[in-house]
Chains A and B, each alone.
Chain A
Amino acid sequence: MSEQEAQQGPIARRIEQVGRTTMVGVGVIGYCATLIWESLYWAVMGKAMGQPVRLNAIVDQMMEIGIRAIPIVSLLALAVGMMLAIQGIYTLSIFGAESQVTYGIAFSVVREFSPLITGILVAGRSGSALAARIGIMTINQEIDALSVMGINPVRFLVAPAMFAMLIMMPCLTFLSDVIGLLGGGLYVALDLKISLSAYWSDIIKIISNGDLTHGLMKSILFGVLIVIIGVANGAGVQGGAEGVGKVTTRAVVQSISAIVITDMFFAFMVTR
């Protein structure tokens, strides 16, 4: 090795490393985009290709992602609503404006906390389950088995989860809206001695369709993120059981990070 090569070595290696990481990153983004595209493709073209996306598979996933998440989503929404009421009354009492707390609760719950809490919960429940399922199936050659049986794995495994998520995320978020607002209302009614019905009529006056849509649109976006991050991690599993554990954890961490960051950008772009 010449002296010049020896000097360039570490820099060249660093540049190569950056290049390789960039390539991997671009590859992952491309893979995720392909997953979304293929899911849509099979939904539209599946029947013509002899590979329809089965309704019962979607319903199964809707049960798993949505219906079974109702108790925990309800509990957390109630707690978040109450927490917002407690903090809101405390903060507004500085200005003697406790009665305005309804505004804070209404906007925060519907525009922000409901989609965010629902997204984080679904990422923890279903994003991890999806990553683990796809990971185990990859290791056990079950994905290969589907392919050689002439069954497209995206159509069979990903598309049902994607559609179930697109349907159930807004539903769960709407439920979370109602229960969160109710939680806030219960505390406000107790603390400020306002009737619950007066609180509700205030809420209905304050919240516009735009506020509601803002939260629901975000939840759909979060749902798509949860599915593609779960599947991409699961499909990229390496090693045995340890690998599945790693991709499951990674899927949850990445989903939650992606949800919070996307939330910030969405809020910035839509609110300003």
Chain B
Amino acid sequence: MTKPSPQELLSRKKVIDVEDLVTHYGERMILKGISMDVREGEIMVIMGGSGSGKSTLLRHLMSLETATSGKMSLLGRDITELTLKETYSLRKKIGVAFQGGALFSSMTVGENIKLPLREHTDLDEFTMDIMARMKLEVVDLAGFEDLTPSELSGGMLKRAAVARAIVMDPKLLFFDEPSAGLDPVVAAQLDELILRLRDAMGMSIVVVTHELDSAFRIADRITMLDRGKILMVGTPEEMKASDNSRIQNLLNRRIEEEDLDPDAYLRRLTGEDQSNERA
């Protein structure tokens, strides 16, 4: 399946809709008014340097954090208006592959994959076994169900985490730094898997990464974050063609050269900057 055109993409339904999201960590402002959306069947890559707020944004999108202000809807539901039961019910429709896998070390790979089924369905053991094996087939890990997570390599661990994330056939899938710590070949395999999940299963996928190659290979659109604000949202081609110097610096791995402003420097040293941000 080829990438959808930008026009076609924007005509699709929104699965995530964020409006003016502001969030603080303690007294420090991390996200400074983020507005973005993710469309049905789209792979949205969130990029940015260290400290840009991309991991915090991901935690909000996964409804793990509460924002200071702003609106967010997930699969058409405003998450601020959900009851506890509705929140848990909504979370069954999303899947997350965490950076380190986050598989439960006390369980085998198979048990890990079956856990959501065991908790949320009344399926019998035999059916759950079959479903776990099916998902392991999808991520090319057939036959590994009896191993413990500590017996898997980094790439296998991430794929096993994907198998667990997709076991409930979610509509929305999140990946946190899928390529981090993997060699280029294994990282490319994981990119292929992400594309396959979108194409074969029609999932909407949000990927947080700082790996440029991976981002350009898989993204339908990229959201570029910088210091808690959105620098640009666009297709990889639009991103490459952008004349914004900060984007070009990030894309070409150039170190940011800031004009030395003595007043700003003094404000940073005295901490005035932070107090302003807190306000």
Contacts and interface: CB of A to CB of B under 8 A. Distances in A.
B88 A49 contact: yes
Interface stretch (A97-105, A113-121, A135-143): A135-143
Interface in B103-122: 103-105, 115-116, 119-120
B225 interface: no
B64 A144 contact: yes
Nearest to B97: A145
Given A50-B120, A136-B105, A151-B119, A145 B96 contact: yes
B174 to A, nearest CB: 8
A238 interface: no
A74 B63 CA distance: 48
A86 B2 CA distance: 85
A150 B105 CA distance: 19
Interface size class of B (residues with CB under 8 A): 20 to 34
Contacts of B84: 49
Contact of B88 (A140, A141, A150): A150
A11 interface: no
A141 B99 CA distance: 9
A149 interface: yes
B120 A147 contact: no
B89 interface: yes
A134 to B, nearest CB: 12
Interface in B52-98: 59, 62-64, 84-85, 88-92, 94-96, 98
B85 A50 contact: yes
B249 to A, nearest CB: 31
Contacts of A136: 105
Interface string A214-228: 000000000000000
Category for how many chain A residues contact B? 10 to 19
A143 B116 CA distance: 14
A160 B115 CA distance: 16
B120 A145 contact: no
B202 interface: no
B268 to A, nearest CB: 19
B85 A147 contact: no
A149 B104 contact: no
A254 interface: no
Contact of A149 (B59, B105, B116): B116
A144 B102 contact: yes
Given A49-B85, A50-B120, A150 B98 contact: no
A6 interface: no
B100 A140 contact: yes
Nearest to B63: A148
Nearest to B174: A148
Interface in B23-66: 59, 62-64
Nearest to B118: A54
A150 B102 contact: no
Contacts of A141: 98-100, 102
A153 B194 CA distance: 28
A51 interface: yes
B105 A148 contact: no
Contact of B98 (A49, A51, A144): A144
Nearest to A52: B119
A200 B88 CA distance: 56
B125 to A, nearest CB: 13
B56 to A, nearest CB: 13
Interface string A144-186: 1101111110001000000000000000000000000000000
Interface string A122-141: 00000000000000110011
B88 A50 contact: yes
A122 to B, nearest CB: 20
B121 to A, nearest CB: 10
A137 B112 CA distance: 14
Contacts of A152: 88
Interface string B169-188: 00000100000000000000
Interface of B: 59, 62-64, 84-85, 88-92, 94-96, 98-100, 102-105, 115-116, 119-120, 174
30 contacts: A49-B88, A50-B85, A50-B89, A51-B88, A51-B119, A136-B105, A137-B104, A141-B99, A141-B102, A142-B102, A142-B104, A144-B59, A144-B62, A144-B102, A145-B102, A145-B103, A145-B104, A147-B64, A147-B91, A148-B62, A148-B64, A148-B95, A149-B91, A149-B115, A149-B119, A150-B89, A150-B91, A150-B119, A151-B115, A156-B119
Interface of A: 49-51, 136-137, 140-142, 144-145, 147-152, 156
Given A142-B104, A148-B96, A149-B92, 4 more contacts: A50-B88, A140-B100, A144-B98, A151-B115
